[in-house]
Chains A and B, each alone.
Chain A
Amino acid sequence: MFVEGAPGSVRRPGREPVKPSDMPVQRHTIAVLVANEPGVLARVIGLFSGRGYNIESLTVSEVDEVNARSRITIVTSGTPMVIEQIKAQLSRLVPVYDVHDLTLEGPHVSRELALVKIRNVGENRIEALRIADTFRARAIDSTLESFVFELTGDTGKLDAFIDLMAALGEVEVSRTGVVAIARGTGLQMPQVRHEPGKRKGQAGT
């Protein structure tokens, strides 16, 4: 049945490739321009959950009403191979126009907005107001026993502020998640120019 003693290859040691799972996990901020149509967000989120990718933050809003386009900003983490996969998988969704890895493509600015409600009285209340001032947070609502502060900044700044507030009273937090854009003159996903006065067309189902 099987011929014995036929020549076979010697097993060579070879270079041991680094296992993809052993590569370092990095955080990336990815901007995605999509058609503003029903289900598009479900497609993006379903892609992440279905393929086991992380979402640390996801924000979305329409940015171009005339052409019905929305911009999604995703903060995700993974090994370089996973990050590459995420971008490729996003790019092949039919309603996706463009994908940019802001972390890879040079410096970018990213901001979050938080609304932080703190309930406290006495000295802690004064300290909260003082710290808010240091952070350039604005009080946008106030009662005798509470403030609502509005604060923008990068994620680290917001985290620090919320930690300090939590030490001074009972806290409730609402955050937008990260929005980001590249620094400098380059327009990565420029708005499509349209004639002034033209109203929203029939794009999007």
Chain B
Amino acid sequence: MAKPRSSSPRRPAAPTTMSGAAIILQALKDQGVEVVFGYPGGAVLPIYDELFKTNAVRHILVRHEQAAVHAAEGYARSTGKIGVVLVTSGPGATNAVTGLTDALMDSIPIVCLTGQVPTHLIGNDAFQEADTTGITRPCTKHNYLVKEPGQLARVMHEAFYVASHGRPGPVVVDLPKDILFADCPYVEASQVETKSYRPQVKGDSDAVERAVELIANAKRPIFYGGGGLINAGPKGSKLFTEFVRKTGYPATLTLMGLGAIPATDKRFLGMLGMHGTYEANWAMHDCDVMVCVGARFDDRVTGRLSGFAPNAKKIHVDIDPSSINKNVAVDIPIIGDAGIVLEQMLAVWKAKGYKADEAALSEWWKQIEGWRARNCLAYRPNDDVILPQHAIRRLFEKTRGTDCYITTEVGQHQMWAAQYFGFDEPNRWMTSGGLGTMGYGFPSAMGVQIAHPDALVIDIAGEASFLMNIQELSTMCQYNLPVKAFIINNQWMGMVRQWQELIHGGRYSESYSAALPDFVKVAEAFGGVGLRATKPSELDDVIDEMIGTPRTVIADIMVKQDENCFPMIPSGAAHNEMLLGPEDQAERRTSEEGMVLV
């Protein structure tokens, strides 16, 4: 993600000194930070004291530090800016760990400031002490422990640089309390240079030329785009769409990439992978040239590796060299920013006057249309009980054309949302892909709503996930955030139940959501609005009322309990071994190798 660093006018040569806490606020302002999600505590009180004195940086008081990070993620993903978190030492920092890991897996730029006990107490098992840099080392892109007041300003600016350059990710700055009181010299961001971390953003022009030649000569090509397109900024999605349209080739997207090409584009085959569409997965399997841009051949996408696109030449564009040849060996790797490389590719395509092989392409499309005709996302209408797919479809239809952002929790509802909700723009879809964090969606929606106060922000949730960060209802009501929680309530941890049905003989061990609260009353207790639909005939009215209510709303949608999420590639199977529905499920058994996979 190429984001210009703020350049404030140069100060006189003599460095200004301020307290460490004031330095932090100054650095946040200079980095253009408008909002911080946080929770106070002993070790960060000096920073909160500075926050008290300024109006330039808004603080959102969450109810749990994990939610602070998810909110910052939602903020970052819906704006392209860096999300900022402020938590205290010890439990504040450890509570943030799940959020940091989530941001690492999904490449979301976050700067998380953690309090720490004073330097002379570090290692003494002091009150609320934790080895934060030790704990967060494997779950951040980078972290810092500031032990010298002279380093504070530099580290602050470097943290923003590291979080947003190259493959974005979370950065922790651990701040001992004595540093917050110490007199520190301030340096401008423009005077800070990171010497060691210089990610390559422009693709090797030779590789780009070979790639474009391969693309031009393809008979059965496919574009496979991912979250890197979103992280590349609006340019990434725009150029991806342009390249797909110019070539007329089919395109599929990962869960992370949805919105990079409009869902309404006829060249878009839908999401691929474990719960991707029949046509997307078959096209991936049968293609002869695969153009992967900003995706990382995740196991949820590839299925069984030995059966993954066996006849394809593969081009892989990624900003992170460690993503290349990690799971799948590729023929032409190109390291660079998705937007910049796509620009290079388009330039070569135009300069060389390449044209797609129309005859081969129309043959290929004929085959794809055959797969499409299977209509893999079809479901039988039901008048007695609300189908979860139908609920999401209706929500999509009723919000079409509005300024709408969707977040999700993790599980069946998440996959149904990815399948049945169409996204025509990037940055409209926030979901926990890599880590699969239940409890992500609701706080994430909070961050989205803060960034877009007038937009319609909906968390498509499951009842089990929603309970994992339900305390944020309190935050929502405090700040009058009109976030909508659209709970697909099947009273089960649905995806767990589905896997137990498929590979554990229907022994539903601990997957029933017993003792569920009355979500309508829960909403009211916190000061929000609760709605419920139990019959298909009530669904539309509830959705209308939810959208029309300018307050925090929980819509509790009671859906069919035993519905499974299809299509599905069972673990250990390849793209061409999809289950399309319950009929397939009975015939095939998951292999032993597949059963040990997650």
Chain A interface (Cβ within 8 Å of chain B)? 1-3, 6-9, 11-12, 14-17, 19-20, 34-35, 38-39, 42-43, 46, 50, 81, 84-85, 88-89, 91-97, 202, 205
With A3-B375, A7-B370, A205-B146 in contact, is A12–B311 under 8 Å at CB? yes
CA distance A95 to B321 in the complex (A): 16
Interface residues of B in 168-217 (CB under 8 A from A): 194-197, 199
Asked if residues B144 and A88 are in contact (CB atoms below 8 Å), the reply is: no
Asked if residues A205 and B310 are in contact (CB atoms below 8 Å), the reply is: no
Flag the segment in B11-19, B134-142, B232-240, B258-266 that touches A. Answer: B134-142
Q: Kindly list chain A residues whose C-beta atoms are within 8 Å of the C-beta of B326.
A: 81, 85
Asked if residues A3 and B141 are in contact (CB atoms below 8 Å), the reply is: no
CA distance A84 to B311 in the complex (A): 24
Interface residues of B in 291-339 (CB under 8 A from A): 305-306, 310-311, 320-322, 324-326, 329
Please name 9 pairs of A and B residues whose Cβ atoms are closer than 8 Å in the assembled complex, sorted by A.
Answer: A7-B367, A9-B282, A12-B310, A19-B306, A38-B147, A39-B145, A42-B137, A46-B138, A94-B197
Q: Kindly list chain A residues whose C-beta atoms are within 8 Å of the C-beta of B271.
A: none
Asked if residues B373 and A1 are in contact (CB atoms below 8 Å), the reply is: no
CA distance A43 to B197 in the complex (A): 15
- Does residue B286 face the partner (Cβ distance < 8 Å to A)? yes
Q: Kindly list chain A residues whose C-beta atoms are within 8 Å of the C-beta of B371.
A: 6-9
Q: Kindly list chain B residues whose C-beta atoms are within 8 Å of the C-beta of A6.
A: 370-371, 373-374
Closest residue of A by beta carbon distance from B326: A85
B126-154 near A? 1/0 per residue, CB < 8 Å: 00000001100110011111111011000
Task: Give A98 Cβ to nearest chain B Cβ, in Å.
Answer: 9
Asked if residues A205 and B147 are in contact (CB atoms below 8 Å), the reply is: yes
Asked if residues A88 and B322 are in contact (CB atoms below 8 Å), the reply is: yes
- Does residue B576 face the partner (Cβ distance < 8 Å to A)? yes
Q: Kindly list chain A residues whose C-beta atoms are within 8 Å of the C-beta of B195.
A: 35, 97
Closest residue of A by beta carbon distance from B198: A97
Task: Give B564 Cβ to nearest chain A Cβ, in Å.
Answer: 13
Closest residue of A by beta carbon distance from B310: A14
CA distance A38 to B141 in the complex (A): 16
Chain B interface (Cβ within 8 Å of chain A)? 133-134, 137-138, 141-148, 150-151, 155, 162, 166-167, 194-197, 199, 282, 285-286, 305-306, 310-311, 320-322, 324-326, 329, 367, 370-371, 373-376, 378-380, 576, 580-581, 583
Closest residue of B by beta carbon distance from A192: B195
Closest residue of B by beta carbon distance from A16: B306
Q: Kindly list chain A residues whose C-beta atoms are within 8 Å of the C-beta of B367.
A: 7, 9
Closest residue of B by beta carbon distance from A89: B322
With A7-B370, A12-B310, A94-B141 in contact, is A1–B379 under 8 Å at CB? yes
With A6-B374, A205-B155 in contact, is A95–B138 under 8 Å at CB? no
Task: Give A97 Cβ to nearest chain B Cβ, in Å.
Answer: 5
Asked if residues B138 and A88 are in contact (CB atoms below 8 Å), the reply is: no
Q: Kindly list chain B residues whose C-beta atoms are within 8 Å of the C-beta of A85.
A: 322, 325-326
Asked if residues A92 and B320 are in contact (CB atoms below 8 Å), the reply is: yes
Q: Kindly list chain B residues whose C-beta atoms are within 8 Å of the C-beta of A43.
A: 137
CA distance A205 to B325 in the complex (A): 34
Given contacts A94-B196, A205-B147, 17 further A-B contacts (CB under 8 A): A2-B375, A2-B583, A8-B370, A9-B285, A11-B576, A15-B310, A17-B310, A17-B329, A19-B305, A38-B145, A42-B137, A88-B324, A91-B322, A92-B320, A97-B195, A202-B151, A205-B151
Q: Kindly list chain A residues whose C-beta atoms are within 8 Å of the C-beta of B145.
A: 38-39, 205
Closest residue of B by beta carbon distance from A39: B133
CA distance A117 to B133 in the complex (A): 39
Q: Kindly list chain B residues whose C-beta atoms are within 8 Å of the C-beta of A1.
A: 378-380, 581
Q: Kindly list chain A residues whose C-beta atoms are within 8 Å of the C-beta of B380.
A: 1
Q: Kindly list chain B residues whose C-beta atoms are within 8 Å of the C-beta of A19.
A: 305-306
Task: Give B169 Cβ to nearest chain A Cβ, in Å.
Answer: 10
Q: Kindly list chain A residues whose C-beta atoms are within 8 Å of the C-beta of B375.
A: 2-3
Q: Kindly list chain A residues whose C-beta atoms are within 8 Å of the C-beta of B166.
A: 92
Shortest beta-carbon contacts, A-B, top 4:
A14-B310, A7-B370, A88-B322, A94-B142
CA distance A81 to B305 in the complex (A): 14
CA distance A46 to B134 in the complex (A): 10
CA distance A39 to B133 in the complex (A): 9
Closest residue of B by beta carbon distance from A4: B374
Q: Kindly list chain A residues whose C-beta atoms are within 8 Å of the C-beta of B379.
A: 1
CA distance A17 to B380 in the complex (A): 41
Closest residue of B by beta carbon distance from A17: B306
Q: Kindly list chain B residues whose C-beta atoms are within 8 Å of the C-beta of A95.
A: 196
Q: Kindly list chain B residues whose C-beta atoms are within 8 Å of the C-beta of A46.
A: 137-138
With A1-B581, A8-B370, A17-B306 in contact, is A202–B150 under 8 Å at CB? yes
Q: Kindly list chain A residues whose C-beta atoms are within 8 Å of the C-beta of B583.
A: 2
Q: Kindly list chain A residues whose C-beta atoms are within 8 Å of the C-beta of B133.
A: 39
Q: Kindly list chain B residues whose C-beta atoms are within 8 Å of the C-beta of A9.
A: 282, 285-286, 367, 371, 576
Q: Kindly list chain B residues whose C-beta atoms are within 8 Å of the C-beta of A39.
A: 133, 137, 143, 145
Asked if residues B581 and A91 are in contact (CB atoms below 8 Å), the reply is: no
Closest residue of A by beta carbon distance from B147: A205
CA distance A114 to B194 in the complex (A): 38
Task: Give B488 Cβ to nearest chain A Cβ, in Å.
Answer: 21
Closest residue of A by beta carbon distance from B166: A92
CA distance A14 to B304 in the complex (A): 15
Closest residue of B by beta carbon distance from A90: B322
Closest residue of A by beta carbon distance from B308: A17
Q: Kindly list chain A residues whose C-beta atoms are within 8 Å of the C-beta of B147.
A: 38, 205
Asked if residues A2 and B137 are in contact (CB atoms below 8 Å), the reply is: no
